[in-house]
A = this chain, B = another copy of it.
Amino acid sequence: MLEQLKETVCKDNKALPKNGLVLWTSGNVSAKDPETEYVVIKPSGIHFDDLTPDNMIVVDLAGNIIEGELTPSVDTESHLYVYNHCPEVLGITHTHSPYATAFSIAGEPLPIYTTTSAAVFGREIPLSKVAAVGEKAIGAEIVRCYRETSCPAILLRNHGVFTVGKSATNSLKNAVILEETAQSVYFARMLNAGIQPLDTSYTDEVFDFYQNNYGQK
């Protein structure tokens, strides 16, 4: 069932440690199959080296396990909340990547200082409120921020990062570029506390250019 999607989700989860976004067993990537509306997600507390397409978990949008012998990620309910409220989202990545998480602790949204972040995110990465304990509250806070800003990356206050995308791999890319952005901005802020974000007229232009010119057709 959903063999190709399980392979993609497995590969994208394994890309998390490879890209320096997670340690140990934390962090996860999921995808929603647009036809069946089933969601494929990582099992809970399993090391990334031990993930295979076969131990990915398939759940429906209500959280019922459709396939898989292991307990799904503890964050499954947050992912489902987003898929249920944002039908255009087909992939979600969650990490505690260190530089982005630092901004979430420091309590600041991440402004756009680079052409790369302008090209990928368009505008400032929003910062959520501290979510109440429990996975539904986290999901609701992500949806609120995403609805308000249309930004596919959210700094979850005192927690970490959620990114969404039009596929699992697209959400993963957003998580990679977010951490790269947070890292450069962190260093730049240390060198010069007074740096100013790029003008939105400029970042809008960069965003449009990149969306229309990057990658293979």
Using CB atoms and an 8 Å cutoff, list the residues of chain A in contact with chain B.
19, 23-26, 43-46, 70-71, 74, 96, 98-99, 101-103, 105-108, 113-116, 130, 133-134, 158-160, 173, 176-177, 179-180, 183-192, 195, 198, 202, 205-206, 209-210, 213-217
Contact status B45-A216, CB under 8 Å: yes
Q: Is the CB of B96 within 8 A of A105?
A: no
CA distance in complex: A165, B24 (Å): 16
Question: How far does the alpha carbon of A23 sit from the alpha carbon of B71 in the complex, in Å?
Answer: 32
Q: By the criterion CB–CB under 8 Å, are B98 and A158 in contact?
A: no
Q: How many copies of this chain sit in the oligomeric assembly?
A: 4
Cα–Cα, bound, A202→B101 (Å): 18
Q: Compute how far the CA of A217 lies from the CA of B43 in the bound complex, rounded to whole angstroms.
A: 12
The answer on a CB contact under 8 Å between A71 and B24 is no
Instruction: Please tell me which one of the listed residues B106, B130, B205, B216 contacts residue A71 in the complex, with CB atoms under 8 A apart.
Output: B216
Question: Given that A44-B214, A45-B214, A205-B133 are contacting pairs, would A191 and B102 also be in contact in the complex, using a CB cutoff of 8 Å?
Answer: yes
Given B133, B195, B214, which contacts A107 in the complex, CB threshold below 8 Å?
Answer: B195
How many Å lie between the Cα of A102 and that of B113 in the bound state?
Answer: 10
Give every chain B residue within 8 A of A213 (Cβ-Cβ).
Answer: 74
